[in-house]
Every structure is written in C-alpha cells, then in structure tokens.
Structure 1
Amino acid sequence: MTSTVWALDASSGGTLSIRTGVTGRASKMGHRLTIGVTKWHATVEWDGRRPTAVTLTAEVPSIEVLGGEGGVTPLIGPEKMVAKSNALKTFDADRFPEIKFRSDDVTESGSGYTLNGSLEIHGKTKKVVVDVAVEDQGRSWRIRSENTVKQTDYGIKPYSQLMGSMKVVDDVTVRFEAEHSK
C-alpha cells in the first residue's frame, strides 16, 4: 500500500470556527459570537485507502470575531475588537498560543470516521472523540466536523461581566470544514 499525507489549512479554503452562547440574568445584552481561527494546519496520514493519523494545530492569537447574534446593539468594528481582546485574555493566548489535536486511533464510521485522540487547550490535555463526516464531491472530498468543548475542562474560566449576570456559556461549539482534491 502507498502512504500519503494530506495537508489542510485556511489558505486552501478550510475553516475552523468557535460558536459561543450567552447565559445569566443579563444574557440578552450579550452577543452569541462566531470566532474564526485564521491560522491553523491539519494533516491526515493515509495508508492506502485508510486514514491512520490526524493532527490539527490552531494558533490562538489568529482568532477573529466574525460576527455576533443578539445583544442590545449590533456587533461592529470596535465591539469586535473588544470581544477579540476578551477572548485572547480568556484563552491566555500569550502563555498558551496553540491548541493541538492528535489522533490515537482512526476508525471508519457511518458517513466518515471517528477519531479517538488527545486535545490540548490552555496547557491541559484531555482524551476526546471527534466524529468527522466525509462527502465525495466528485473531484474532491468535503470534510466536516462539529463538536462541543467544555471550557472549564481545560482550566478556562468562561468570560463574564456585570458581576456574572452575563457570561459566556461553558460549552462552545467547534466547527471544522475543509476540502481536499482527489
């Protein structure tokens, strides 16, 4: 069998994003954010027709606030910059500039693969299971995944203000999408 490696990143049209929620008595004042990670790279190692290993590294300082729903006022330029600054502080991006995933096992599942591996965020590593959907697009493969990450599992205190009456929900949704030509 022939082994190959797929390299995926944002420059090839892939996206990695985080979706937050808001809770608390004053939650209507806050925005549910979509945050994009602009610098990341992933590899998929193949042995013939079977993927054997997957890694992904995301650069925390590269985050950008793409948009926000809800809130009292629209989320525009200055507010996006404040939200980005708050997110970087929450992630402690100066001390922990990368988020890393490495698979230990890759198994075929219904419409794709199940990746059992380790996720490192904020200096803490946890075992996780990631389901990845793979769709044949004819000339390419579309790869998608959506998973929930609990911030406190990694020692991250969700952002809050107004003495805790408005805070980011502990569970955030991480979405990944990429395409690889055949």
Structure 2
Amino acid sequence: MVGEGTFRLGPDSGRLLVKTSRSGLGARAGHDLVIEAAEWTGNVVVGPDGSARVHVEVNAGSLTIRDALGGLKPMTSSDRKMTEKNMVKVLQPGKYPVITFTADSTAQVDDAVSAPGTLTLVGKTQPLTVSGTVSPGGRLHASATVTQSRWGITPFSAFFGALRLADDVAVEVDAGLSAAD
C-alpha cells in the first residue's frame, strides 16, 4: 500500500470499466459488453495505520460502450445506439446523475486490500465490498460484483426472456493513485 496521505484517481490515471454478460437460451445471440466511465473521480485518504477512506463518484451519463464481445454477429451502430438508450432508461442519469461508492475504512492482508462500503445507484444505497491490490508504486487494481436486482434494477431481456443480461455485473478499476495537491 502507499504511504499516509490523500490521493486522487480518475480517467487521467486509469480506467473504470463495467462488464456485462449474457444468460438465457438465446445468450449466444447477444453481446458481453465492456462499458467505460468517461467521467469519474476518486479520493483515497490513507491514515497513519495504513487504513484508508475511499470515495468514488461516477457521472452516470458518461458510461459508454467500448467493446461488444461474442454474439452471432458484430454489434452494429444501430444496436449500440439502442443499447445505450436502454442504459439511459435503466440508470436515469437525468434523475440520478451520480453513482457513488464510499468506504470509511479498508483492511489489508499482504498485498490484498478490501474496502467494505456502500454503493448508491439509481437512488438506492446498498452495502458493497470492493477488493483488490495496490502496488508499492500506487497502482490500484480493484473489482466488485454488482447484483443489479439489489438496487431494484431488472436486468435487460429480449425475445420474451430468451436473451437476458446477467444480474451480476463486474466493475473493475485499474488506475494510478496521484498525490492530491
């Protein structure tokens, strides 16, 4: 872990990705998506004992499809527009512009770090633990599984439920911690 201090992270030092997968009988027809947050900020305050407080905010309207994997055919620009329109319907960035993760403390064992906290998504706050590693140079690799239904989100489905977005969505952060000014 890095030493005591206040650190920032964001798109200038790394990436925050959301990865979806498919389920259902028609899963082969759909795509696993890699969605990137273009606008996000994070603050990590490390105390003298090595424990940290974490606060991350994501602009819900800045989520953009970066890749579409699998499927019977490549994702078309029309498919992409329709999918992004569905994301807006689900996330309602006009009503809930910010997605927030906050952890008041962290635990570290060897190079593994765990941050039990809360995630606020579409106006609902639920517990969520983010786990990962921080290199001695301050590179953060962290992930969490967000089960959409815990936040009242019904995963997207098509073809009368034969093609469904899996309820679990992976969130990954790979970013450098920069000392705050």
For normalisation by structure 2, the TM-score amounts to 0.89
Describe the SS at the equivalent of 1:105. Answer: coil
Give the AA of the match of 1:144: H
Q: Give the % identical residues.
A: 25
Alpha-carbon RMSD: 1.8
Question: In the TM superposition, what are the counterparts of 1:93-172 in structure 2 within 5 Å?
Answer: 93-136=93-136, 140-172=137-169
User: Is the contact made by 1:121 and 1:154 (CA closer than 8 Å) also made in structure 2?
Assistant: yes
Match of 1:179 among 168, 176, 179: 176
Describe the SS at the equivalent of 1:87. Answer: helix
Unpaired stretches in structure 1, ≥5 consecutive residues: none
Describe the SS at the equivalent of 1:132. Answer: strand
Report Cα offsets for 1:53-103 as digits up to 9, x if no partner: 110011110011011111122124332222211112122222222111111
Partner of 1:9: 10
Q: Equivalents in 2 of 1:3, 1:111: separation in Å?
A: 16
Describe the SS at the equivalent of 2:12. Answer: helix
Instruction: Compare the two structures and name the one with the higher strand fraction.
Output: 1
Q: Equivalents in 1 of 2:177, 2:4: separation in Å?
A: 16
Describe the SS at the equivalent of 1:153. Answer: helix
Query: How many residues are matched?
Result: 177
* Ranges of 4+ aligned residues in structure 1 off by more than 6 Å: none
Report Cα offsets for 1:136-169 as digits up to 9, x if no partner: 3xxx321111221100000111111112111100
Of the structure 1 ranges 119-128 and 109-118, higher mean CA displacement relative to structure 2 is found in: 109-118
Unpaired stretches in structure 2, ≥5 consecutive residues: none
Partner of 1:88: 88
Describe the SS at the equivalent of 1:28. Answer: helix
For normalisation by structure 1, the TM-score amounts to 0.89
Partner of 2:78: 78
